[in-house]
Chain A
């Protein structure tokens, strides 16, 4: 009995600080945000007036917010798929894609260099990536790299005013986000693939399987755990997308607000429109959607675990 009491006290004492910090800095803001979303706080006064669900009703009728939601949906569906496919492809090329030299399974030539170079985008801060890509997509006479390259290659017809076309904006964001995250997944999947015993590959090779078949039937099932985790992580990143959109398209989400996302809408409502209550309501929406997306993906991507040994 004494041992039991002593043990609980011991656990309690050591749990209290981290749980306390978690409660103050993680849980408490969420609870406060839910409360603030039911007020009309401007963010400047000391007191708030309770207004119930008015902010949520306003959200329901807000066309610009629907645009932002739609853009987030595109990001959540497209970016993880694109990033993971490319990540898997590059990782398998770098680890098991080389022509077999004397039966050994290796990556393509120069894979050690590629591994380092692919990771560079992750090292750059998102602010730098945003500004650099702004200049990639700028008009030719303002330093636009893409248009200049197209012109140099003779593809003048494909030149556009990229950031001035409302329809292109979200796809430009998809491209930039994919570019910045592929490297991370190349490294992640490379590590996962290293854990696969080489004899499985050699057995597959002996059985005459092509590179594509090996990829589909051997590599992917064995790294699926990592793919699932990566997918959920990318989906959460895509629900956010604030930094990239804010830097490349501005606080209004670009021309006619066509590139708006929920994160930018929340920032704009809080700081440009001095309406913290509405911004908090958008924040609560983001919380709910991100959790739903995470749970859905985790459930939907579950596979039977394959024992390796």
Chain B
């Protein structure tokens, strides 16, 4: 193997000829080889421009307000995650087909939506209706700025499925259409309605006679009592998602000083994170760490492990949204006496501007219609069917989640204790429902940006001033990055 081979020098003439022949062969080989390169990822631009065709449509009538073509199929992609996809195949699609029996619905379910559909977007051939959710969610901001989503205004202006005298827009809870709006146009339908708050172990609280705290001072007293029995008062989502603690932090600050502080934060105004109410709230949260009221070891845990320990009675309070009950269903089922309930975040002080019952609630679970779909109006009609009272009510019954259709949970027997208390809290809040938008506008601002800062605050590695500095630095980075399209809200 190691010895070198003696090469006999060939005659000069033959050498040159051999060289030229080899050169010619290489050229011939590369020629057709080069033609293969036409099948590139980067070669699709021209085709898309040529096919700027009209979306198919039918006649607009009372029965067909969107004017969908009555003979074209609709391709539907549902995210197969926490809600599953049976609500689509067993509820919404039958509702749709009852009205449009001749329209075929081509149903697909996927766990990684981005992985399955990204290539189709690039090829200019996306499906008609997408549940853009889950780990593989395609960045909605980028989809909008690339012009890939259809404007849903025709849907929201159309008459609703059940009552032609009411537009779809008016059947929805306030804030729903806004939560899916970018640059002034609605591109995303947020279907589920989530209530945020502090979820607590009602069974433990009742057994030990601990009162549900309404002010922060009461919260600290209760925590001291809880800690004395050896149970951890609080838990959060560990090393995976310390940002969950941001929610009570911002909620409490909002109740103290009013919802304008949230507008400043969303608009990336300098100094928004340094508002005194925010700082007071951050100090309150930090005092939980200082007093050792968090579950030991939570800073190093995976979020499912932390929530699982909470569901098994190792901790009392856990910040989350109303999906928590569904997410930890297995752990909760282990102990039939476990009752969870939701409380609104306590008031930091008696001069709080907003009442205790104020909650953060928002429409979530995004559904979109791609602009280049073959049958975008069909996709919007499918959304109209989902937004019917029957569709929304059925969704709540099946997946234990509220929907953004107003009144859809009235009369529904909500057996799940968590959801029942969330619904009660939402009703008690009345008009005092707040929300902030920066996590959905600027994904990386929330994660890893503010997420990491809050994580360090919770480990008591940062003082409140340092936390404010880091949050401001994150906001400044986003503000100064020209490649990110900025959104604005008035109030």
Contact = CB atoms under 8 A, between A and B. Distances in A.
B29 interface: yes
B301 A46 contact: no
A255 interface: yes
B118 A43 contact: yes
Contacts of A305: 2
A8 interface: yes
A45 B25 contact: no
Interface string A37-59: 00011111111100000000000
10 contacts: A12-B29, A16-B33, A42-B146, A44-B122, A46-B47, A139-B296, A142-B301, A144-B297, A162-B300, A252-B447
Contacts of A144: 297, 300
Contact of B29 (A4, A16, A42, A256): A16
A16 B36 CA distance: 12
Contact of B42 (A8, A35, A257): A35
A210 interface: no
Interface stretch (B67-75, B136-144, B244-252, B345-353): B136-144
A163 B298 CA distance: 11
Interface stretch (A106-114, A120-128, A266-274): A266-274
A16 B21 CA distance: 17
B448 A139 contact: no
Contact of A28 (B37, B139, B305): B37
A24 to B, nearest CB: 5
A163 B42 contact: no
Interface string B452-479: 1001100100000000000000000000
Nearest to A140: B297
Interface of A: 4, 8, 11-12, 15-16, 19-20, 23-24, 28, 31-32, 35-36, 40-48, 134, 137-144, 161-164, 250, 252, 254-257, 271-275, 305, 307
Interface in B32-82: 32-33, 36-37, 39-42, 44-45, 47-48
A45 B295 CA distance: 46
A55 to B, nearest CB: 11
B297 A142 contact: yes
B143 A44 contact: yes
B44 A47 contact: yes
Given A43-B118, A46-B44, A138-B301, 4 more contacts: A19-B33, A44-B142, A139-B299, A141-B309
A33 to B, nearest CB: 9
Nearest to A54: B483
Given A138-B305, A140-B297, A305-B2, A272 B123 contact: no
Interface string B222-240: 0000000000000000011
A255 B239 contact: yes
A202 to B, nearest CB: 25
Contacts of B240: 250
B258 interface: no
Contacts of A252: 447-448, 452
Contact of A48 (B45, B118, B456): B45
B28 interface: yes
Contacts of A42: 142, 146
Contacts of A161: 297, 299-300
Contacts of B114: 271
A20 B147 CA distance: 37
Nearest to B147: A45
Interface string B109-147: 000001000100111100000000000101100110010
B444 interface: yes
Contacts, number: 126
B443 interface: yes
Interface in B245-303: 295-302
B305 A142 contact: yes
Contact of B299 (A19, A48, A164): A164
Contacts of B326: none
Contacts of B29: 12, 15-16, 19
Contact of A141 (B28, B143, B296, B448): B296
A272 B295 CA distance: 31
B122 A43 contact: yes
Contacts of A142: 297, 300-302, 305-306, 309
B349 to A, nearest CB: 32
Nearest to A35: B42
B296 A45 contact: no
B462 to A, nearest CB: 11
A47 B301 CA distance: 43
Contacts of B33: 16, 19-20, 23
Most chain B CB within 10 A, of A24, A134, A141, A250, is at: A141
B314 interface: yes
A215 to B, nearest CB: 24
Nearest to A134: B302
B132 to A, nearest CB: 11
B168 interface: no
Contacts of B456: 256
A162 B239 CA distance: 11
